[in-house]
Chain A
Amino acid sequence: MTQQPQHTKTKRYGMVIDLDKCTGCGACMVACYAENNVPFRQDESDKMRSLNWIRVMKVDNGKPFPDTQVCYIPMPCMQCDGQHMEGHSPCVSVCPAVATDYDQTTGIVSQIYTRCFGCRYCMAACPYHARKFNWWDPKWPADMEKYLNPDVSARMRGVVEKCSFCYHRYQKARDKAYVEGREELHEDEYQTACAQACPTNAIAFGDLHNPEHAVYSLSRSKTAFRLLERLNTNPKVYYLSSKSWVRRKADNYLEGENPEQIREKARKAAATH
């Protein structure tokens, strides 16, 4: 495990997505594609092969017309902290090439394409399907290579890629801070492309350790939950929903189980540890 640099205070960047506000418009996905040079193909309807760093899942409450309700759930990489919050996330622990690692200073899980040799263990390990494999070399038709972002390198065939929480934006924000003689970043200086693009401000992004950041209190609110919490992957992506059927969708709860009780129990257990 890498040591903590002395001069940097530990951050835990995370996301809180308010599902009551998400309209499923897809702006987050498109902003992510544009920001991160995600390629595209003529037919993208095979979703097992389609490259996405953030997907928006549509779920419904299963009730017949007119009592039906639907909810959209945007899913980036969950940036798991691992069982004991020490960075032992499912993907990092299986990578044989050290192509993915956990950054102790920010809590962000990296993916280095030039290091990856495409064994896809990480994809098998990830319970959130956040990782995607490049089955083809990317192609940008006509003059489309002109819009590529130099801050993110283009991937090649045969490697796995995933959401980086726009780490390059963190780097750029830090560069600006250094030049201005600052150590700390303001909350709005480092925002992921999806959070910035969300037209209804459903996505909040910031340091979960910093009480001044919106995500600090949002992630601690009563209606906050994470996906598949019982796997103890400790994701840093939280969701908010006022609807209990949505919160129930977060895990494979059995009929008699009460998600709120289970969550409360886990919270107490975590507090006593």
Chain B
Amino acid sequence: MKIDRRCFLSLVIGGAVGTTLTPVPWKLTDDIAIWSQNWPWTPVPEDGPSKFVKSVCTQCPGGCGITVRTIGDRAIKIEGQPDHPVNNGSLCPRAISATQHLYGPSRIQGPMKRAGERGQGKWEKISWDEAIKTVTEKLAELRTRGKPHTVACISDTDGNGSSYLMDRFLQAYGSPNFIRTPSSADAQELALYLSCGRQGTIGYDFRKADFILSFGCALMDGCDTAGQVMSAFGEQDKKTRLVQIEARLSDTAAKAAQWVPAKPGSETALALGLGHVIVRDGLYNKAFIDNHGFAFEDWQDDAGNTHPGYRSLVQDHSPDKVAKATGLSEKVIESLARSFARAHRPVAVSGLGSAAPDSLDQALAVFALNALAGNFQKPGGVFLIDEPDYLSWTEMKIDKTASAGNQHPRVDGAGSEKFAHTRYLPNRLPEAINSAKGDSPVQALLVAGGNPLYTLADPRAAQKAFEKIPFIVSFSTFIDETAEQADLLLPHPHFLESYQDVPTPRGMAHTVVSLARPVVKPQYDTRHMADVVIQIAKNLGGFIENAFPWKNYEDFLRKSLSDQWKTLEKKGFWSDSRSRDTSLDKIFRTSSQRFEFFPMSKFAAMNGNGNKKAGVEKIELPGNIDKLPLVLVPYTSMRISDGAVANTPFMTKTLDANVVLENDVFVEINPKTASEYGLSQGDKATVKTQAGRAEVRVNLFEGIMPGLVAMPAGLGRTGFSDYIAGKGANVYSLIAPAADPASGLNAAWGARAAIAKA
């Protein structure tokens, strides 16, 4: 027998034939195919019983009810809470994508102290005990030195439990400097206070109104009332007429029955012009004005001086003059006035979520239109909502140091003789610090919500001021622009991890209080800022400690809310219909007990000029019109978060390629204007204003008034994560604040600008 190559080949062939008769090739082929589907880096989310937890979104003051789908301790998806009185199941993209912030890379994962220079981004992890000790020691030292009033606290709200606790802490400690970050609410609140004598918010019954006259409100462009307005719009039959007054065809304007492109900054003139037509034609609600109006006609004060009333004020605003100021035709103004006055349930709205702040005069002039219609406390009308009063407080005693500290004037000048009725002037804070001689008037700053280094007008001046503050503590959940410049980070949990009471959102026509609650366990080593403040108070001892008889924030909420806590726990919200009281007898709490058209007495106190007619009709923008021939206006978008907290990656993903391309933001410009400057679609260009300059790209848009440059608010971040930082420019860094002489609030509705091809 000879064994040779043939035998070997034969063996192999036999093996091969045999193998095909076994499962080996077939099973292996199949298994390899299956193996190739299972890459270990493709995640397989864990399954389990799923639950739906009711809570409320606190990312903006909108107060929308949410339902969070959870699996185990994972928050999977946020959906609108269908029976919530604010939003009826509607949500904006920001709320829906909040889980990305919860688990995202911008979270501060535990208390940290600065390791390098300010803003260098070098941090050292510390324990909560050490962090709280550091703050306590600093505050104790300032108090010992008799300087408690040099401590300031910035918050994005003054309406919920934790901001009350912050304010209470400052009072017990001895500082008057609790400062709320600016918003479009400021002028509205002041207008409400002056004309109706009430501290609170103006509610509009959007669901039942049949005519909504919006003076540039970002009703469907990311306003703080997105949930309520969008759900109302969705429910409305097409009989409700929405009229949007705005120079740019925003999404609200696009959905409106009528778009009225008035020149920006001319809203006050237009409101007065509409008033002129309504008064001239006798279309106003006489019964309301006779019984509940004051200063409609000329009036005499106690000293016998005669002051002009509303009728005289609007005399000057004949349609032809207003047409010139607004760029609208007289016909449009006349017909707009008449259709407003003839509507059954009209509301005139101003300052809801607008990108540019209103002047006090605009707020008053627009609010007066509602008085002409006389539709207060009626379905489809305007409701006056008081400041939250659902928390009950124990009396507190303060010591001499605190009392002396509280007597000091506020560092931002609010409540001073000049701005007697303004409660907060955050935009004056940088100037107050920068212009102070010697030590900064703020020695320690607690940033308890809000992101002032991003949201303040002219962030560069704010940055300069912050550099002078020796001690900055940030309670931010995320590494935002302000936290980047802080000395100490005391991270507050995400809203899906903690309790938070949420007062009635702006624009709501009745009181609704909601409760945000822990949906998942805290992901990182965070502590509720109110818990931290209670701990600091306890460490400081004495009267300060006594002012905080609660274990923690939850304990405070339970005790302060008493019976309502149970409802909140169970339902997630409670609503109070007392605010829907239809009687007009007691709603105006001014000295005249009536609605005051142009509250002149207050004006006198503010302006030192009692004879001044309608106040300031238009806030003039500074700058040389020849060098800066265009006007830059900010705009808000539902897909760009313009507040303290930046976009989630999902929101940025939804942006069109002609809004953000790579890291460039587009400015919108009319093709006519573009051709004047030799600009074509997509061109790189430089926008220059007095306050600064920005590299942008150009998006030609027919829907914007020639002569304007519109830029979205919310970009140009440095903080948060790589998913948003470095994209575009911050429009507010291009718009220097312009103080409203009547209120001191920032009323810069734009900035003079030039654009050139880059």
- Asked whether B709 is an interface residue with its Cβ less than 8 Å from the other chain, the reply is no
- The chain B residue with its CB closest to the CB of A31 is B96
- In contact, B249 and A147 (Cβ under 8 angstroms): no
- In contact, B92 and A27 (Cβ under 8 angstroms): yes
Also in contact, A42 and B722, with CB within 8 A (given A199-B80, A199-B231, A200-B233): yes
- Asked whether A231 is an interface residue with its Cβ less than 8 Å from the other chain, the reply is no
- Asked whether B395 is an interface residue with its Cβ less than 8 Å from the other chain, the reply is no
How many whole Å from A80's CB to the nearest CB in chain B?
25
- In contact, B43 and A154 (Cβ under 8 angstroms): yes
- In contact, B523 and A30 (Cβ under 8 angstroms): no
Residues of A within 8 A of B74 (CB): 146-147
- Asked whether A121 is an interface residue with its Cβ less than 8 Å from the other chain, the reply is no
- Asked whether A267 is an interface residue with its Cβ less than 8 Å from the other chain, the reply is no
- Asked whether A171 is an interface residue with its Cβ less than 8 Å from the other chain, the reply is no
- In contact, A40 and B723 (Cβ under 8 angstroms): yes
List, sorted by A's number, 16 A–B pairs whose CB atoms are closer than 8 Å: A21-B233, A27-B96, A34-B99, A40-B723, A44-B652, A62-B702, A64-B672, A72-B251, A138-B42, A142-B104, A147-B102, A148-B76, A150-B44, A150-B45, A156-B39, A193-B77
Residues of A within 8 A of B100 (CB): 144, 147
Stretch at the interface among A45-53, A101-109, A212-220, A247-255: A45-53
Residues of A within 8 A of B343 (CB): none
- In contact, A71 and B105 (Cβ under 8 angstroms): no
- Asked whether A93 is an interface residue with its Cβ less than 8 Å from the other chain, the reply is no
Number of residues on chain B facing chain A (CB within 8 A) = 76
- In contact, B93 and A29 (Cβ under 8 angstroms): yes
How many whole Å from A56's CB to the nearest CB in chain B?
7
- The chain B residue with its CB closest to the CB of A20 is B238
- In contact, A65 and B105 (Cβ under 8 angstroms): no
- The chain A residue with its CB closest to the CB of B261 is A66
- Asked whether A141 is an interface residue with its Cβ less than 8 Å from the other chain, the reply is yes
- In contact, A137 and B39 (Cβ under 8 angstroms): yes
- In contact, B45 and A144 (Cβ under 8 angstroms): no
How many whole Å from B525's CB to the nearest CB in chain A?
14
Q: Is the interface of A mostly helix, strand, loop or mixed?
A: loop
- In contact, A143 and B45 (Cβ under 8 angstroms): no
Residues of B within 8 A of A56 (CB): 654
- The chain A residue with its CB closest to the CB of B260 is A66
Q: Which of B654, B662, B672 has the most CB of A within 10 A?
A: B654
- Asked whether B639 is an interface residue with its Cβ less than 8 Å from the other chain, the reply is yes
Q: Which of B45, B79, B639, B663 has the most CB of A within 10 A?
A: B45
- Asked whether B420 is an interface residue with its Cβ less than 8 Å from the other chain, the reply is no
- In contact, B251 and A24 (Cβ under 8 angstroms): yes
User: Which residues, 120 to 141 on B, are CB-close (under 8 Å) to A?
Assistant: none
- In contact, A148 and B43 (Cβ under 8 angstroms): yes
- In contact, A60 and B703 (Cβ under 8 angstroms): yes
A42 to B80 CA separation, bound complex (whole angstroms) = 27
- The chain B residue with its CB closest to the CB of A147 is B99
A146 to B79 CA separation, bound complex (whole angstroms) = 17
- Asked whether A202 is an interface residue with its Cβ less than 8 Å from the other chain, the reply is yes
Residues of B within 8 A of A126 (CB): none
A269 to B654 CA separation, bound complex (whole angstroms) = 39
How many whole Å from B92's CB to the nearest CB in chain A?
6
Interface string of A60-87 (1 = CB under 8 A from B): 1011111011111000000000000000
- In contact, B105 and A142 (Cβ under 8 angstroms): yes
A142 to B91 CA separation, bound complex (whole angstroms) = 25
User: Which residues, 39 to 93 on B, are CB-close (under 8 Å) to A?
Assistant: 39, 41-48, 71, 74-80, 87, 90-93
- In contact, B638 and A114 (Cβ under 8 angstroms): no
Residues of B within 8 A of A29 (CB): 93, 650, 653-654
- In contact, B653 and A50 (Cβ under 8 angstroms): yes
- In contact, B91 and A199 (Cβ under 8 angstroms): yes
How many whole Å from B479's CB to the nearest CB in chain A?
12
Also in contact, A23 and B220, with CB within 8 A (given A60-B703, A138-B42, A196-B79): yes
Contact of B104 among A25, A144, A196 (CB under 8 A): A144
Residues of B within 8 A of A42 (CB): 722-723
